[in-house]
Chain A
Amino acid sequence: MLETRKRFHDELAALQAEVMAEGQLAERALGRSIEALVRKDKDLADRVIAEDDEVDDKYMDVERRVIDLLAMQTPVAGDLRLVSAIMHINMHLERVGDMAVNISKIAKATRELPTDPTVLSHVEEMADIARSMLLTSVDAFARRDLEAALALPRMDDPIDHLNRGMYREVVGLARDPRLLEWGVQMNMVARQLERVGDNAVDIGEQVAFLLTGEFREFTDASHPPSP
């Protein structure tokens, strides 16, 4: 193979490694943000917020290098699909990093408030699933695993279910204004976790496109499947 083309393919492999590292950072940030929330740990929350710069730097670096590849190497076929997948996955992971920051900010804002164990356990459950989905999606990308990518929408179902139930649980805390204030914030955390799940599903869609060459949405929010 010609040297310039080899460098192109080496760069593609390097970008993929960069995106996977970004995925690990985002997943770690998400885990720590929930830990900060549960343990009311201000320092840990601050650390997540500060360390998001690493995710952002990776995002910017990958984005810039992808644009360079598009401009100078005009990738086609499988290479084009890989570049497209890297570009999309990069964006989804950066957003997950931002969601971890949002949760950390809520962790700091709710430190002085009382908590409800049921609501908190549901938030933790959602976070566990969201983190596992995130890892699955990035792993499916790394291993080119179509089956794992296709399994993501199913993994997302319990998150959606818990998120929908959260509103009612929070309304149930109305007897105590301070508990209600905390609950409203937890509803926002649930919303962030639900978005993490959606981003993981979107990453799965990119993996499927990379592998099959077919564009399709796994789930369609405007036409939800019948229960």
Chain B
Amino acid sequence: MSGVEAVRQEALTDDLGSRRIEVHDLNAWFGSLQALRDVAVVAEPQAVTSIIGPSGCGKSTLIRCINRMHEEVLGARVSGKVLFDGQDIYAPDVDPVEVRRRIGMVFQRANPFPTMSVLDNAVAGLKMVGRLSRGELRRRSEQALRQAGLWDEVKDRLDEPGGKLSGGQQQRLCIARALAVEPEVLLMDEPASALDPASTLRIEELIQDLKTQFTVVLVTHNMQQAARVADWTLFMLYGQVVEFGPTRKIFTSPDDKRTEDYITGRFG
């Protein structure tokens, strides 16, 4: 049984199966450059799926295809299927904005609006989705900041500009902003790579909390981070899936020699 089939078999018994992401035969291009080749992977609800691989292997492109952000790049194309809740997010009648609300993303560099207040930053995305009362926005902002594990640190400085927070706090503010629109999936592209070890650990603990409610997909260059937080790990090379399986298996006895060579530092 392949890794994907093993995950799917396990998922059949799962009630939260509706938040599962299934990628089939995914190909992606930037102009004539093919970035992904026949990628297949499943991201389970209430689990962290990490994607590892050397720079340029297609990790970021893959998660950008999962919430339809790849197509925003000029000349970018996608073929294949990405099923979310059983529905193909690339079907013609699907609104990409709604896809991006349900499948949120957090980026490598914390990018809060620097002059906007902490409180407003947390609901910046929410404001774009619809009109809400001041009281409701305040409530949703607090809820998101709590979910992001930031509330206790910022509750007395909610009116300060987001740019005044520390790097780790800014990243959690961005996570709060992604959570405020109540997504079902959280895609994280190297969320801790610009942070110090203590802030990194806070983000990793937060990921562990978040996975109880969300489907989390984590792109990381830090293999020990993948080993620490991920339930499933996907190793990619040259735009292709080399190996996908339980993190424990990937880091103790991977099946593919290329996986072994990469994670043991023999190349890459």
Which A positions have Cβ atoms within 8 angstroms of B?
1-2, 5, 8-9, 74-81, 212-214
Contacts and interface: CB of A to CB of B under 8 A. Distances in A.
Nearest to A1: B266
Given A1-B267, A75-B264, A79-B264, 14 more contacts: A5-B266, A9-B266, A76-B264, A77-B250, A77-B251, A77-B254, A77-B259, A77-B260, A77-B263, A78-B260, A81-B252, A81-B253, A212-B253, A214-B253
A214 B252 CA distance: 10
Interface in B241-268: 250-254, 259-260, 263-267
Nearest to A8: B265
Interface of B: 223-224, 227, 250-254, 259-260, 263-267
Nearest to B223: A76
Contacts of A76: 223, 227, 251-252, 263-264
Nearest to A5: B265
Q: Is the interface of B mostly helix, strand, loop or mixed?
A: helix
A85 to B, nearest CB: 13
A76 B266 CA distance: 12
Contact of A74 (B224, B250, B260): B224
A121 to B, nearest CB: 45
Nearest to A80: B252
Contacts of A5: 265-266
Given A213-B252, A213-B253, A77 B265 contact: no
Contacts of B267: 1
Nearest to B250: A77
Nearest to B255: A213
B227 to A, nearest CB: 7
A69 B266 CA distance: 16
Contacts of A8: 265
Contacts of A78: 253, 260, 264
A78 B223 CA distance: 15
Contacts of A77: 250-254, 259-260, 263-264
A216 to B, nearest CB: 13
B253 to A, nearest CB: 3
Contacts of B264: 75-79
A119 B266 CA distance: 55
Contacts of A75: 264
A184 to B, nearest CB: 46
Contacts of A213: 252-253
B172 to A, nearest CB: 26
B260 A1 contact: no
B262 to A, nearest CB: 9
Q: Which 6 A-B pairs have the closest CB atoms?
A: A213-B253, A5-B265, A79-B264, A76-B251, A77-B260, A76-B263
